[in-house]
Structure 1
Amino acid sequence: MTKTLKTALIQSQLIWENPEANRVHFSKVLQNISSDTDLIVLPEMFNTGFTMHPEHVAKEEGPKTVDWMLQKALETKAALVGSLPFFENGSFTNRLFFIEPDGKTAQYDKRHTFTLAGEDKVYKAGTEKLLVDYKGFKLCPMVCYDLRFPVWSRNIEDYDVLIYVANWPKPRIVAWDTLLKARAIENMAYCVGVNRVGADEMKHEYIGHSAVYDTLGERVAFSEKEEIVYATFSKEHVISTREKLKFLNDRDSFEFKKGL
């Protein structure tokens, strides 16, 4: 079992509705990744920006971007996680992919589509939570607006790391900061949030605040600029904290209804 997991958070600007340009951009960024990195986290819709018009982009760009992720995972010898607009069975989803260096692939469709922007009218919501076992750590990746819904992320599976990829705008950045910390504390897990920077075509401004919080809510990484941010997760930290403070033993029991 791996005792640590070195993670790179890619806080970047995004090029609007231009998957090829974004792939070129992130290819250059990934050339600078530390060689001992285990996991690379990209923002939400990293190949297009948070578009409500996925039809502006050729449908084959989804699979092409997944192929790019497969190649970069192989080259960097690190798992890649990020979301993108994906067309399948007649519908678009905001689909997160978790791709390992050996090509193993898992996916998660964003459960809570952002109604304020009309995302629910464009993208089909997911119904299944994703858990990934990777290098001795159990990871639970989610997407942006999911952060506001603690029941969905409740740690009933004893995961070690909760990951949010996002396009979270400046006016509500206090909520982002606060909720990331809260999700870490209540779930006694590392909580990772990767946001973008810059402005999109809808005039929304993004100021980053990508961050990592440990199982006690202590902030161990943070950034407000375009850069690669590194954080190392410790399995021993997770185990020892939970053994000393057995708060998860007192969590409420519940079941999700079918279809949720």
Structure 2
Amino acid sequence: MTNRLRVSILQTDIAWENKQDNLRRLREKLETLRGATEIVVLPETFSTGFSMDTGKLAEPVTGDTITTLRQWAAEYRIAIAGSYISCEGIPASSENSPLSGGHPAYYNRAFFLTPEGDAYFYDKRHLFRMGGEAAHFTAGSSRSVIPYRGWNILLLVCYDLRFPVWSRNVNNGYDLLIYVANWPEPRRKAWDILLQARALENISYVCGVNRIGADGNRFPHNGGSAIYSPRGELLAGVPDNEEGIATAILELSALQQFREKFPAWKDEDAFSIVSDNNLR
């Protein structure tokens, strides 16, 4: 068990639909972090940008992107988190799915890859309706807590931030909540407020990583990558509109002491989640 966990947020621009360039840039940054951190968090769809061209860009979990990142996690002794455009074979037929009828299933798939060789994945549940994401991707149906060095970590993606029930920390099930994102500048106020709110309401550390720069659709992004304490205090952040890395040291014992001193979690409401697909 590790009481102190160093988490680094990596705020970058993203070369549109250019995997090789984005991977090259990432390796350069990982070189500078060797021995300096335990977890590196990347923006959503870090290798391509938030593109809907799934047919051209999607890869299985055995593809080059994840295979390369798993090698780097082992080489640099750093856990790596982010998301990429993933595909699988033939999804189960469903009249509610735009991808049913014998087509491959595409996912905005988050990953958490450890130096020890473990790999954890989460498929984005809340697809961004206003950007047409649901017409190209299949929504995930479950979330899971990742065990890492004595910590419990929940990994979610971008638009998930707007849905507090999906992010809810039931019975202190996780200690660190991570959001990876492509969050446009015009809605930046919501990003800032909701990240801090998730830390306060869930009595958890919260880490959010967003990109900068204009994407292939000319939507601007100005960052706002940050790490918050369970008290809502800003522990680390990267300046707006700049590529950069910021690292915070998180302490599990301090979190547990605060939960004992201020046990609001004992008064939480019980609930179940039901979707169009009868998700519970």
TM-score (norm. length: structure 2):
0.90
Q: Deviations over 1:143-197 (max 9, x none)?
A: 0000000000100151100000000010000100000000000000001000011
Please give the secondary structure, in 2, of the residue aligned with 1:31.
helix
Matched with 2:97 is: none
CA contact (8 A) 2:58 2:86 kept: no
1:209 and 2:224 equivalent? yes
Kindly indicate whether the alpha-carbon contact (under 8 Å) linking 1:44 and 1:165 is maintained by their aligned counterparts in 2: yes
Task: State the AA in 1 paired with 2:113.
Answer: I
1:259 counterpart = 2:279: yes
Distance in 1 (CA, whole Å) between partners of 2:59 and 2:71 is 20
| Residue matched to 2:264 | 247
* Cα distance between partner residues in 2 of 1:60 and 1:212: 30
Alpha carbons 1:165, 1:195 under 8 Å: kept: yes
Aligned-residue offset at 1:56? 2.9
Of 191, 202, 207, 1:192 maps to 207
Which aligned pairs between 1:48-63 and structure 2 lie closer than 5 A? 48-57=48-57, 59=59, 63=63
Percent of aligned pairs with the same amino acid: 40
Shift of 1:206: 0.8
User: Which protein is bigger by CA-based radius of gyration?
Assistant: 2
Instruction: Report the Cα distance in structure 2 between the residues aligned to 1:156 and 1:133, rounded to whole angstroms.
Output: 16
Deviation of 1:60 (Å): 6.2
The 1:48–1:61 alpha-carbon spacing in structure 2 relative to 1, beyond 3 Å, is farther
CA distance in 2, matches of 1:242, 1:30: 34
Equivalenced residue count is 260
Which of 224, 234, 246 matches 1:229? Answer: 246
- Superposition pairs of residues 29-178 of structure 1, within 5 angstroms: 29-57=29-57, 59=59, 63-89=63-89, 90-158=104-172, 159-178=174-193
Contact 1:38 1:77 in 2 (8 A): yes
Partner-residue secondary structure (3-state), 1:256: coil
Q: Per-residue CA shift, 1:182-240, capped at 9, x if unaligned? A: 00000000010000111111111111110011001111111122011101111012101
Question: Which residue pairs with 2:12 in the alignment?
Answer: 12
Contact 2:57 2:85 in 1 (8 A): no
Classify the secondary structure of the residue corresponding to 1:228.
Answer: strand
1:36 aligns to what SS in structure 2? coil
Q: Within 2, Cα distance between the matches of 1:23 and 1:74?
A: 16
Contact 1:18/1:57 (CA < 8 Å) preserved in 2? no
The RMSD of aligned alpha carbons is 1.4
- Contact preservation (8 Å) 1:62, 1:85: no
Contact 2:212/2:222 (CA < 8 Å) preserved in 1? yes
